[in-house]
Structure 1
Amino acid sequence: MSEILQYIHKDGLFHRMHPGTKIFLILVIGVLTILTLDIPLLCLILLAVLLLALAGKVLREVLQQMALILAMSVVFILITLITMPEGEVLGYLVPGGLLPVTTGALYAGILLTLRFAILIISFQVFVITTQPRDLVNTLEKAGIPIDYNLMFLIALRFIPTLQIEARRIHEAQLARGYAPGTGFIGRIRSVAPVMVPLVSNALSRATVLGLTIDMRGYRTRARTPFREERMNLLDRAVIVILAVILVAFLAGTILPSFGYSLG
């Protein structure tokens, strides 16, 4: 199983794109997802994101993380069902008339779930198909200070590292005879013994990393990249198409809300 948010070297469509193009793509997907209140349209956006992952040859890696997305989706739906009792009552979560399931809460839960899935999957596709050095160089060219770029890159790099570390700690505890149990309760019970050594190791790694950066004379002065990415014809075509889609969507969504019409 591949670690989450770790770059995967392949010869896919997304790997050949300029990082700036992919950043613009993620921004457009984010705007469309956040401003859309139509569930069928969100389903189409989710399907489009999965097709993009297929074109980028990373669909298998994306689907490996679907268990986490599904678990969070169930949590989102349950929270909205409990906290938003609006609309027609369809049933009850607890027999006896407790915790009603309403149309408004169910709609909001599905809407939130689809938005979460789209944003997570699209960001994952972006990260696992982009070289960290290319991402940092692109963000630096966009005017973002190098210190913030470094913090962002280190945070991304620590996620798969912590995932591997947590797996090793859990396997070591099982080898020593620790039995948290099976099923959902067993999974919850097994989290607490892992968190303490995981946090301790993470703090130790952060300290060592900070000392290493300081010892190597890291400074925020201007630097010259070893390899500079340039946009090609595909990047320009994708940017134009995305710009047209974004303008058309905003024109059809925002202008009518202010009383303007295109007709």
Structure 2
Amino acid sequence: MAEILQYVHKDGFLHRLHPYTKIAFIIVVSIMCIIATDIGFLTFMVLAMLAFAAYGRLLTESLQQLKLILVMSLIFILITIITMPNGDTLGYLIPQGIPFAGGLIPVTDGGLLIGLVLTLRFMILIFAFQLFLISTQPRDLVHAMEKVGLPIDYILMFIIALRFIPTLQIEGQRIHEAQLARGFNPGSGFIGKIRSVAPIVVPLVSNALLRANVLGLTIDMRGYRIGRKTHIRERKFAGRDFVVMGILSVAGCGFIILLLAHLV
């Protein structure tokens, strides 16, 4: 089963980069995709994310949640089509031939364009943050956030919350399989999937609260205290980090030029 936001142990190019380099990468990519409105440029950024993942030997892991991303993207497009009917009408979600409801929801070029832009931005941000999290060890992320000056207790809560995401995913899958083994039949299709969620929520929340309580007791029993920490291993900037920083700087300057020329 594909785990969401779980660190993948490999020796790829992305894994060897310093966390600060990857944070700078996320900042540059986020700013560029949020400002840009050209569909061609945003599509290029999506392809660049996939190429970057392939170079870092993480393409398979990056595409494991592709089905969920596509479903969310389709929902974004439908919402924008319904809520932003701007421009020329291209058609209707409900055909005009259907009595009473036909022709009530027009599909306009403006709404479709906005939906595609938001969808591409969503995909870029998801791929960028996913690459960062699955290629960065939690301890390296903690060290980087601590050096920035963030309080260690907030960092601890953030790391625990990230670790709980794949844990809850695995726990939910186990509960679902246990219920199916006991003869629970939610049915097939979209309605069946909705019906299968409700019986999972209660035991999943109960187990999550129990795990959180055990984790808190474990932290207290091991004598964890907030204070100045020392680290056995310190990550240093390498040549590859300076190369990536230079590429990001050139990409940022090029984006500014394109932005001033109204090409993005």
TM-score range, shorter chain: over 0.9
Task: Find the counterpart in structure 1 of residue 157 from structure 2.
Answer: 151
Task: Find the counterpart in structure 2 of residue 32 from structure 1.
Answer: 32
Task: Find the counterpart in structure 1 of residue 98 from structure 2.
Answer: none
**Corresponding position: 1:227 with 2:233:** yes
Aligned partner letter, 1:157? R
1:70-97 residue CA offsets vs partner (Å, 9 max, x unmatched)? 1101111111111111110000011221
1:7-47 residue CA offsets vs partner (Å, 9 max, x unmatched)? 11111110111111111111111111111101100000000
Mapped partners of 2:70, 2:121: distance in 1: 13
Task: Find the counterpart in structure 2 of residue 185 from structure 1.
Answer: 191
Mapped partners of 1:236, 1:58: distance in 2: 22
Task: Find the counterpart in structure 2 of residue 260 from structure 1.
Answer: none
**Corresponding position: 1:126 with 2:132:** yes
Q: Which runs of 4+ in 1 moved over 4 A?
A: none
**Corresponding position: 1:78 with 2:72:** no
Matched position secondary structure for 1:101? strand
Mapped partners of 2:261, 2:113: distance in 1: 23
Deviation at 1:247, TM superposition (A): 3.2
Asked if structure 1 preserves the Cα contact closer than 8 Å seen for 2:9 and 2:135, the reply is yes
Task: Find the counterpart in structure 2 of residue 13 from structure 1.
Answer: 13
Matched position secondary structure for 1:190? helix
Give the TM-score normalised by structure 2.
0.93
1:207-256 residue CA offsets vs partner (Å, 9 max, x unmatched)? 11122212222222111112111110110111122123223323543x67
Task: Find the counterpart in structure 1 of residue 105 from structure 2.
Answer: 99
**Structure 1 vs Structure 2 CA RMSD:** 1.3
- Gaps of at least 5 residues in structure 1 are 258-263
Mapped partners of 2:253, 2:221: distance in 1: 49
Deviates more, 1:1-10 or 1:105-114: 1-10
Give aligned pairs, total: 256
- Gaps of at least 5 residues in structure 2 are 96-101
Residue correspondence of structure 1 range 47-86 to structure 2 within 5 A? 47-86=47-86
Q: Percent identity?
A: 61
Task: Find the counterpart in structure 2 of residue 161 from structure 1.
Answer: 167
Task: Find the counterpart in structure 2 of residue 110 from structure 1.
Answer: 116
Aligned partner letter, 1:133? R
